[in-house]
Amino acid sequence: AQSVTQPDIHITVSEGASLELRCNYSYGATPYLFWYVQSPGQGLQLLLKYFSGDTLVQGIKGFEAEFKRSQSSFNLRKPSVHWSDAAEYFCAVGGMDSSYKLIFGSGTRLLVRP
């Protein structure tokens, strides 16, 4: 079955601290992987995507993610969190023939302590 698991429902970090959000996926074909961020009452904004090539991808707002095929993971990282990063983060997987049909995880809510 195709699925995305984000094991952490909530994460709280202090401003300036590093961040890692976990994502594990199950997908039968070559996966396309995405991280989206959603602020309250807003739609989803694409942070970064992985299609192929270098397994470490850089995104907007200082975020990066690393694709590890052997672990079926695509964890999101940021070296220093800002208060404005507080939001809900979604990992998603799609395929080459269905990049429009994304399967999303249930999200991780990030809280930032001042």
Partner 1 sequence: DAGVTQSPTHLIKTRGQQVTLRCSPISGHKSVSWYQQVLGQGPQFIFQYYEKEERGRGNFPDRFSARQFPNYSSELNVNALLLGDSALYLCASSSGQANSPLHFGNGTRLTVT
Extract the tokens encoding 14: 């202090």
Can you say whether the dihedral through the CA atoms of 57, 4, 28, 102 is positive or negative? negative
> Do β-strands 10-14 and 108-113 pair in parallel, antiparallel, or remain unpaired?
parallel
Of the candidate residues 71, 98, 111, 113, the single one contacting partner 1 (CB under 8 A): 98
Candidates 19-27, 60-68, 79-87, 95-103: pick the segment binding partner 1 (CB under 8 A). 95-103
Mask of contacts with partner 1, 4-23, x by CB under 8 A? Answer: x-------------------
Candidates 13-21, 60-68, 79-87, 102-110: pick the segment binding partner 1 (CB under 8 A). 102-110
Is position 27 an interface residue for partner 1 (rule: CB under 8 A)?
Answer: no
Please state the closest distance from residue 107 (CB atom) to partner 1, in A: 5
Is position 49 an interface residue for partner 1 (rule: CB under 8 A)?
Answer: yes
* Amino acid identity at 40: P
Please count the residues of the chain. 114
- Of 109, 108, 24, 21, nearest to 65 (Cα)? 21
